[in-house]
Amino acid sequence: MARNSTHKSTPQTATQPAEHSTEAKASRGPIPHEQIARRAYEIFLARGGNHGNPDQDWQQAERELKLGRQ
């Protein structure tokens, strides 16, 4: 039975790195408003400064930044 209890402690060690990676993800936090605004403006400029949909630019900027952070 002692071996069973030893085996039970091994998964706890195995879960510690997973908890650590979860903490790292949580510490990233939300993307700052200024960073999204800057990227949305870059998207606007890439379009030649032509009128478009600023909401779509903002959403695209958020998506790109989130993908870059993962």
Instruction: Note the pLDDT tens digit of each residue in 12-59.
Output: 444 444 444 433 444 468 999 999 999 999 999 999 999 899 999 999
Residues 6 or more apart from 44 whose CB is under 8 A from it? 52, 54, 57
Q: What are the angstrom distances between the C-alpha of 18 and each of 12, 28, 61?
A: 10, 16, 29
CA angle 56, 32, 23 (to 5 degrees): 115
| Helix H or strand E encompassing 58 | helix 54-69
pTM comes to 0.57
Domain count within the chain:
1
Q: Domain limits at 58?
A: 2-69
